[in-house]
A and B are shown apart, each in its own frame.
Chain A
Amino acid sequence: MVDPTLINALQAKAMGTVDAEIGPRPSDLTVRLSHIDDLLVAAEVLIKQYTMALATLVATDETAMPDGDFKVRYVFEPTTANAPDWFVTLLVSVDAACPEVPSLTTMIPAANWHEREMCDLFGIVPVGHPDPRPLVVHDGWPKGVFPLRKAFDGSQRVPVEPAEEFPHMVTEGEGVFEIPVGPIHAGIIEPGHFRFTSVGETVLLLDARLFYTHRGLEKRMEGISPLDAFCIAERICGVCSVAHGLGYCEALEQIAGVDIPYRARLIRGIALELERLYNHIGDVGNVCAGAAFHYGTATGARLKERLQQMNERIAGNRFLRGIIIPGGVRLDLTSHLLEFISSTLLQTLTDFDSLMDRIEANPSVVERFDDTGILQNQTAMDLAVAGVAARASGVNRDARRDHPHGAFANADSPQLNVMTASAGDAMARVMVRAQEVRESIRLVDEFIRRLKPGPIKIAIADPLPGDRIGISAIESPRGEAVHWLRTDANGRVDRYHLRSPSYHNWPAVALAAETAIVPDFPLVNKSFELCYSCTDR
């Protein structure tokens, strides 16, 4: 149940009224602040007194609704292990004629990109933001055009206007070099621009510019049936297809008010761990590439390939697309397939252990991984870093335990062992991944043992109930992803927002890279292994 002391603590600090109500989920709290300036003190209470972190920030355009305003929701979540599963939303109304909110970034560094994105896409200005450069829209985007406002027609191209060069963050001085890299990189990787400022090999500053792959996904989903939009949510990111598909479905199912069958939850749980497995194993191989250990790279690629071939046998798609659907799962796991999964995982475990032995026994690899790209624990907390990157810096958080979903939402769910390390370097991230590989294999085995015959999906009526909100947090291979979905009066998608794990982790990569040398950047970057596509959307 919702903690009443929190409401009292907020009321004590606020100047205006504080209206608290339960929601979006029965365990959550939404707090309306009548005074927009109360945002700072209220956020401070949540962060300092309740050690919460910013989970996501969602703006909505309600100018055509009775309130005639914009709304901004700042969603917070607990950060301590074994805290209850709840979200606290601070909700403010923003005047459409003068859309401004006080910036939280100085107090909550994790709010930085959220506020810049809100400014680009909604034209809601975070007053006092320390770095108000555009984020999502790039050079040549016309001033005063905001794609996520309802009046904007997303199906039209927007003319490119003449633009000045983007103000990269750089420093100057004797012997200081500026190294521009990207957006197109030498290799099969996603696009982003990195501007290094260096003295010799030492990185002084790294300014990462992303959102090259911004596809306007959230706008694309607006106005269509949430059941149709699922297909797009599943395609936000290739290697997080299960996690994002699941997160979207859980939000949608809350809105629909349906309970997913036991067996479907287990199959979803198995799919989620299989996704983590092929990612983690492939990532360990790729980190080896950063240290020029080709045996490791080739072995990682071979094991990943074997898992993806298994995915294709299970789901008909090598990225496990098409297994999860709103209401449950599309494909059942026959006993034949279950045997195949078990034997493949057994073999994978043996081969992976042998790969880890070779990595740990190789001093030239260990030497490169140790002390490279250090992310301090405090920095990880301040930036609300997610997933392996956070756990390798001693942050004990995992959405599978903190916000149970999929198979973890079953009453008889197995205990999850959250793997952490303290060093915060590339080695720690590799080791946490390796432990999580073994843990995922154990979990799949546990889930399989719990399977019993039963239905695998439940029908969801279209249109869905109108004016409802669903929220979910999923531990994807890269960390916690927060999905926020609202239907309009007709049960269509009014607003969908995804905060991907990489969204919070990118600024951390830049800071970790500043502890390294330029040639180590690929290694640092691969040890974090972030997605561009789910960040840029």
Chain B
Amino acid sequence: MLRILINALRTGVVTTRYPDEPSLPPENFRGQPIFSTGKNLPPPEVCPVDALSQHSATGVRQLDLARCVFCGRCAEDQWVGAVTMGRDFELAARRRSDLRIEIMTDDTRIPELQPALNPEADMDQVSSEIRRVLGRSLHLRHLDAGSCNACDWELTALLNPVYDIRRLGIDFVASPRHADGVVITGPITRNLETAVRRTIEAIPDPRIVIAVGACATGGIFGEGYANLGGVDQVHPVDVYIPGCPPRPEAIIYGIMVALGRLDARQLSNQG
């Protein structure tokens, strides 16, 4: 017992100060791909998970961060220089559409975004209602809807002495009935659909739904015999957290955005 105490004292405090202090991932880290303007850009086929696309009529290229697995292939070989893997990891967004980024090149003009119709406007109202009821603290239920368990291990890491997410008033609870919201990983497999729906329903309203990682935000699998293809296929999503898997601090950022304690950044392709 004494030895345990001595060891604990010797170890000291290992906890990060993120998000109060910024975190800079290491040099090799692969965050948001950044496309240089005026360069020969990789065609959509380069991406193994269809995160790159090109509009057939306008020729405008798009990067879908909800599908990107940050593999770095579009920044390799002949595309070195045209694309670099940025170190940005704070990519959480409130709307799925915010994660679709138009890639600007010098020879293509970007059509103006239509500001008018915004079907998701009332979703924002729901979120502010959630914030009013739940305040700054959040108790979350975790739901594995068919992930590869990488995202789940990162959620577990949030409880380790380094991230210690409880210091931010956030905790994971065992019962959905004790939860204010749910973090969901995985593409919603067919074999889990019923369990997922029932668990979400068991959480009292208003509830926050957070989709964590590429499968949950609609990437890699999409719809098929075994998957529904993303959390928003079963329930509206309050915050999407891209990454494969998102690093623990990216998840903290997403939860802070969900709580309205941080604003989602405006994502753009310019570095």
Contacts and interface: CB of A to CB of B under 8 A. Distances in A.
Most A CB contacts (10 A, CB to CB) among B154, B191, B192 go to: B191
Most A CB contacts (10 A, CB to CB) among B8, B159, B172, B226 go to: B226
Interface string A23-51: 00000000000000000000000000000
Given A187-B174, A321-B244, A236 B148 contact: yes
A212 B146 contact: yes
Contacts of A298: 160-161
Nearest to B163: A305
A213 B221 CA distance: 13
Contact of A147 (B30, B149, B225): B225
B150 A239 contact: yes
Most A CB contacts (10 A, CB to CB) among B14, B148, B172, B223 go to: B148
Contacts, number: 187
Interface stretch (A1-9, A151-159, A249-257, A479-487): A151-159
Interface string A42-66: 0000000000000000000000000
Nearest to B11: A302
Contact of A214 (B4, B157, B226): B226
A239 B153 contact: yes
Interface in A299-313: 299, 301-302, 304-305, 308, 312-313
A238 interface: yes
Most A CB contacts (10 A, CB to CB) among B143, B144, B227 go to: B144
Interface in B158-181: 159-162, 172, 174-175
Given A235-B69, A238-B152, A138 B49 contact: no
A156 B224 contact: yes
B87 to A, nearest CB: 9
Q: For this complex, into which size category does the number of interface residues on chain B fall?
A: 35 or more
A312 B25 contact: yes
Contacts of B226: 147, 154, 214-216, 219
B224 A184 contact: no
A138 B149 contact: no
Contact of B48 (A230, A322, A536): A230
A243 to B, nearest CB: 13
B148 A212 contact: no
Contacts of B70: 317, 322
A377 to B, nearest CB: 30
Contacts of B220: 232, 235
B102 interface: no
Interface in A135-157: 137-138, 147, 152, 154-157
A312 B29 contact: yes
A216 B220 CA distance: 12
A302 B162 contact: yes
12 contacts: A157-B223, A157-B228, A211-B191, A214-B189, A215-B221, A231-B49, A237-B148, A295-B4, A299-B7, A301-B156, A304-B160, A316-B85
Interface of B: 3-4, 7-8, 11, 14, 25-30, 48-49, 69-73, 76, 85, 142-144, 146-157, 159-162, 172, 174-175, 186-187, 189-192, 195, 199, 215, 220-228, 244-245, 247
